[in-house]
Chains A and B, each alone.
Chain A
């Protein structure tokens, strides 16, 4: 009985309406009817979908399920210490900030070492990596630049995000004082604090971001289209702007690529794939002093230890180099061929 009712409750024919007021008898009836005639749902109003309704059905049926608790006592209580390890978010009013202190000056050194290779020494963003500074006053322009300084409403978001997600290759690796310092530095790049500034838990709430009033709660729907059916516009007024011609499968297209290899890629291609998806993030820009791809100077000393030792370091890790680039699911061979690929770029 329970099972069949569960089926009713989860049968898509029976869960389409948000009308929670429909009574349980009707629910059974419509669901049974749907079972008998199949799911022809395009026309009728459908009954409610809440499991509570289904339970009512059970209660009014032959097999009564009684004694369901107001809540299920499943799960274990959790101590403040355990929660603290994961409870890392910061709110605009500073709630959640740990004790700590960091100066713009300290932040500059840390930023140069850990952030500038992607975000640029002045927050201008290398290649396609995000910009962190500039763009103030550009939000109404044709090409707005949304950065920490021009767009972000709260400094807490910056502290929170750097702490949880940056530096990109090593999230949650920074100490609180480092996060204070780097946050202070990124704020100074945006001229929100001066070069002498020292950021602390206590003075955090005093920081005002330039665009703090730049947001309002979603007020959609903002369009009001009508179902015009005939003579909706003058055919002569239509101007057609065409997009690119469809080319996939006709010729190779550098813009559009398959996210998974379809044909069996040559091993060299696969090695390049591994490099691109796993190793590049550090080895292209030389993050944490990773030897850069194709840069002989970075590799000369290393090559002297012999290929086997290099393989071993790539497999087992070495200082800032995580074992297998942090991807323990890669096979040893995949890592080795990625190393081979990196070495061939030196030739």
Chain B
């Protein structure tokens, strides 16, 4: 069937089948006969992607208008439309030897606004996804404190709570692209990123409860998963804006995100936001755990490595068009994307159509929240010319997202983490979009 991907073909056949189910026998034969001719001819997709001669298009009355649908509670927990089955997390098989310690990425090209739906937030496990009974889960806070305490989940929920929309990003986001543009789509170049409303109790509130001794300068956060994930967190961050989170976008934290509780350090490496949190120990020095020595340190060209590189610096990417969202016809388009900074609010985003020769400001839209995804948008009338599309964000500290060249000059090609370079999409004259780097 020319012109169709296998998926489209299956979907079309399913639609035809559904439609024919609603017809009488004679009608049905006629309909299917016509439909098969139509499919066989292979010329059924108009520029807009819709099926010509569908009996669901005007002036015909669609099948769903002529019957009743399913009742309430068909899905007690609602699911996306069957037509959105492509909106899923994906992984890159060769990245890790096994899926138990691995990562999957958010389909950024499918998302609108700034909130990542809970089922689409990227996953990162070092020891697989634990299944924790909240009644049997505890948080212990001890070490250099006046009153070591143990909390049940119910007890944690009695403290005053806060709800904040913050992005969460794996510091390895984009890390496969230090040497060359390796990944084929946005989901893989930038998808280790999500943004949710997180609800929980401020870590500072809990630290008040245990009474931190003056020598207490660092906190070891530890997970209850099979990797026993640990990171050393400086006290200043804990007292500033860290949250012990139990809810995500209004519902209980998802298992993948650390159910029943996780640490959230807004703007910092996702890895510091320990999931399945079971223990916080207050100490006077960092512990130099595996995840802050062997991993999550940034190797520099001189062979030394940066440690405690916590902050996710200002970054941005155009989500549409993108390899997953090509331009289909000539005409007006919204060039749209997201920007974020671990140091505060996005101040502005500039976009370039010519690979960075000239730039123009792209208006920000929607809410602008500190350490949160921010949308930018630029209307453009595309007439089939090739483009080198880029976005360049800057934040309220005045920091401007660097070019890839500038990053490479400072860090070489082996630092893995924190690759926040200006990203390039090559738009071909046929409207297809390809990952690119400029040298």
User: In the assembled complex, which residues on chain B have CB atoms less than 8 Å from the CB atom of A17?
Assistant: 370
Of all chain A residues, which has the CB nearest B228? A164
Confirm or deny: B365 has a beta carbon within 8 angstroms of a beta carbon on chain A. Answer: yes
User: In the assembled complex, which residues on chain B have CB atoms less than 8 Å from the CB atom of A139?
Assistant: 299, 303-305
Given the contacts A75-B149, A225-B400, A329-B131, A243 and B181 also touching, CB distance less than 8 Å: yes
| Least Cβ–Cβ distance between A125 and chain B, in angstroms | 9
User: In the assembled complex, which residues on chain A have CB atoms less than 8 Å from the CB atom of B56?
Assistant: none
- Distance, CA A161 to CA B287, complexed state (A): 12
Confirm or deny: A105 has a beta carbon within 8 angstroms of a beta carbon on chain B. Answer: no
- Distance, CA A284 to CA B275, complexed state (A): 29
Partner of B288, one of A77, A156, A223: A156
Residue pair B359, A241 in contact (C-beta under 8 Å): no
User: In the assembled complex, which residues on chain A have CB atoms less than 8 Å from the CB atom of B355?
Assistant: 235, 238, 240
User: In the assembled complex, which residues on chain A have CB atoms less than 8 Å from the CB atom of B294?
Assistant: 146, 148, 151-152, 157, 161
Confirm or deny: A140 has a beta carbon within 8 angstroms of a beta carbon on chain B. Answer: yes
Partner-contacting stretch, out of B15-23, B37-45, B58-66, B93-101: B93-101
Which of A82, A142, A146, A263 is packed against the most chain B CB atoms within 10 Å?
A146
User: In the assembled complex, which residues on chain A have CB atoms less than 8 Å from the CB atom of B310?
Assistant: 218
Residue pair A71, B211 in contact (C-beta under 8 Å): yes
Confirm or deny: A41 has a beta carbon within 8 angstroms of a beta carbon on chain B. Answer: yes
User: In the assembled complex, which residues on chain B have CB atoms less than 8 Å from the CB atom of A233?
Assistant: 356-357
Confirm or deny: B190 has a beta carbon within 8 angstroms of a beta carbon on chain A. Answer: no
Confirm or deny: B202 has a beta carbon within 8 angstroms of a beta carbon on chain A. Answer: yes
| Least Cβ–Cβ distance between B179 and chain A, in angstroms | 9
Given the contacts A241-B437, A242-B434, A248 and B211 also touching, CB distance less than 8 Å: no
Residue pair A246, B432 in contact (C-beta under 8 Å): yes
Given the contacts A16-B345, A140-B302, A144-B414, A257 and B91 also touching, CB distance less than 8 Å: yes
User: In the assembled complex, which residues on chain A have CB atoms less than 8 Å from the CB atom of B350?
Assistant: 227, 229
Residue pair B281, A217 in contact (C-beta under 8 Å): no
Confirm or deny: A302 has a beta carbon within 8 angstroms of a beta carbon on chain B. Answer: no
Confirm or deny: A39 has a beta carbon within 8 angstroms of a beta carbon on chain B. Answer: yes
| Least Cβ–Cβ distance between A82 and chain B, in angstroms | 7
A-B contact count (CB 8 A): 317
| Least Cβ–Cβ distance between B396 and chain A, in angstroms | 9
Fill in one digit per residue for B72-113: 1 if any A CB lies within 8 Å of its CB, else 0.
Answer: 000000000000011011111110111111001000000000
| Least Cβ–Cβ distance between A85 and chain B, in angstroms | 9
Confirm or deny: A76 has a beta carbon within 8 angstroms of a beta carbon on chain B. Answer: yes
Interface SS of A by simple majority? loop
Residue pair A12, B360 in contact (C-beta under 8 Å): no
Residue pair B313, A221 in contact (C-beta under 8 Å): yes
Confirm or deny: A319 has a beta carbon within 8 angstroms of a beta carbon on chain B. Answer: no
Residue pair B147, A277 in contact (C-beta under 8 Å): no
CB within 8 Å of B: which A18-41 residues: 18, 39, 41
Confirm or deny: A74 has a beta carbon within 8 angstroms of a beta carbon on chain B. Answer: yes
CB within 8 Å of B: which A45-82 residues: 49, 51, 70-78, 82
Residue pair A246, B184 in contact (C-beta under 8 Å): yes
Of all chain B residues, which has the CB nearest A137? B303
Confirm or deny: A239 has a beta carbon within 8 angstroms of a beta carbon on chain B. Answer: yes
Residue pair A91, B285 in contact (C-beta under 8 Å): yes
Confirm or deny: B175 has a beta carbon within 8 angstroms of a beta carbon on chain A. Answer: no
Residue pair A18, B433 in contact (C-beta under 8 Å): no
User: In the assembled complex, which residues on chain A have CB atoms less than 8 Å from the CB atom of B162?
Assistant: 9-10, 51
Residue pair B358, A229 in contact (C-beta under 8 Å): yes
Confirm or deny: B309 has a beta carbon within 8 angstroms of a beta carbon on chain A. Answer: yes
Of all chain A residues, which has the CB nearest B285? A91
Residue pair A247, B184 in contact (C-beta under 8 Å): yes
User: In the assembled complex, which residues on chain A have CB atoms less than 8 Å from the CB atom of B436?
Assistant: 240-243
- Distance, CA A39 to CA B374, complexed state (A): 14
Confirm or deny: B429 has a beta carbon within 8 angstroms of a beta carbon on chain A. Answer: no
User: In the assembled complex, which residues on chain B have CB atoms less than 8 Å from the CB atom of A257?
Assistant: 90-93
- Distance, CA A253 to CA B93, complexed state (A): 10
Residue pair A71, B226 in contact (C-beta under 8 Å): no
User: In the assembled complex, which residues on chain B have CB atoms less than 8 Å from the CB atom of A256?
Assistant: 90, 92-93, 184, 188
Interface size class of A (residues with CB under 8 A): 35 or more
Fill in one digit per residue for A218-258: 1 if any B CB lies within 8 Å of its CB, else 0.
Answer: 11111111111111111100111111111111100111111
Fill in one digit per residue for B270-306: 1 if any A CB lies within 8 Å of its CB, else 0.
Answer: 0000000011010101011110011001110111111
Of all chain A residues, which has the CB nearest B402? A223
Given the contacts A215-B307, A255-B94, A243 and B359 also touching, CB distance less than 8 Å: no
Confirm or deny: B165 has a beta carbon within 8 angstroms of a beta carbon on chain A. Answer: yes
User: In the assembled complex, which residues on chain B have CB atoms less than 8 Å from the CB atom of A98?
Assistant: none
| Least Cβ–Cβ distance between B54 and chain A, in angstroms | 21
Confirm or deny: B316 has a beta carbon within 8 angstroms of a beta carbon on chain A. Answer: no
Of all chain A residues, which has the CB nearest B123? A259
Residue pair B90, A246 in contact (C-beta under 8 Å): no
Partner-contacting stretch, out of B27-35, B257-265, B330-338, B405-413: B405-413
Residue pair A83, B148 in contact (C-beta under 8 Å): yes
Partner of A129, one of B97, B227, B365: B97
- Distance, CA A202 to CA B437, complexed state (A): 53
Residue pair B230, A164 in contact (C-beta under 8 Å): yes
Fill in one digit per residue for A124-165: 1 if any B CB lies within 8 Å of its CB, else 0.
Answer: 000111000000000110111010100111101100110011
Of all chain B residues, which has the CB nearest A161? B290
CB within 8 Å of B: which A155-182 residues: 156-157, 160-161, 164-165, 168, 171-172
| Least Cβ–Cβ distance between A95 and chain B, in angstroms | 8
User: In the assembled complex, which residues on chain A have CB atoms less than 8 Å from the CB atom of B228?
Assistant: 88, 164-165, 171-172
Of all chain A residues, which has the CB nearest B180? A241
Residue pair A225, B354 in contact (C-beta under 8 Å): no
- Distance, CA A230 to CA B344, complexed state (A): 27
User: In the assembled complex, which residues on chain A have CB atoms less than 8 Å from the CB atom of B407?
Assistant: 223
Confirm or deny: A347 has a beta carbon within 8 angstroms of a beta carbon on chain B. Answer: no
Confirm or deny: A42 has a beta carbon within 8 angstroms of a beta carbon on chain B. Answer: yes
Residue pair A246, B289 in contact (C-beta under 8 Å): no
Of all chain A residues, which has the CB nearest B292? A157
- Distance, CA A233 to CA B350, complexed state (A): 16
Residue pair A260, B88 in contact (C-beta under 8 Å): yes
Confirm or deny: A92 has a beta carbon within 8 angstroms of a beta carbon on chain B. Answer: yes
Fill in one digit per residue for B153-170: 1 if any A CB lies within 8 Å of its CB, else 0.
Answer: 001001110111100000
Confirm or deny: A192 has a beta carbon within 8 angstroms of a beta carbon on chain B. Answer: no
Of all chain B residues, which has the CB nearest A241? B437
Of all chain A residues, which has the CB nearest B345? A16
User: In the assembled complex, which residues on chain A have CB atoms less than 8 Å from the CB atom of B309?
Assistant: 218, 220
| Interchain residue pairs with CB less than 8 A apart (22) | A10-B163, A12-B165, A16-B345, A16-B368, A51-B160, A90-B287, A144-B303, A146-B299, A161-B289, A165-B290, A223-B402, A230-B359, A239-B438, A240-B438, A242-B435, A244-B184, A247-B184, A248-B90, A248-B185, A253-B184, A258-B88, A263-B85
Closest 3 pairs between A and B when the two form their complex, measured CB to CB: A243-B181, A243-B435, A128-B97
Which residues of A approach B to under 8 Å, CB–CB? 9-10, 12-13, 15-18, 39, 41-42, 49, 51, 70-78, 82-83, 86-92, 127-129, 139-140, 142-144, 146, 148, 151-154, 156-157, 160-161, 164-165, 168, 171-172, 214-235, 238-250, 253-260, 262-263, 276-277, 280-281, 328-329
Q: A217-B308, A223-B407 are in contact. List 16 more A-B contacts (CB 8 A).
A: A16-B369, A18-B344, A76-B150, A87-B142, A87-B279, A91-B287, A165-B126, A168-B101, A171-B228, A220-B309, A227-B350, A238-B356, A241-B436, A241-B439, A255-B93, A259-B90
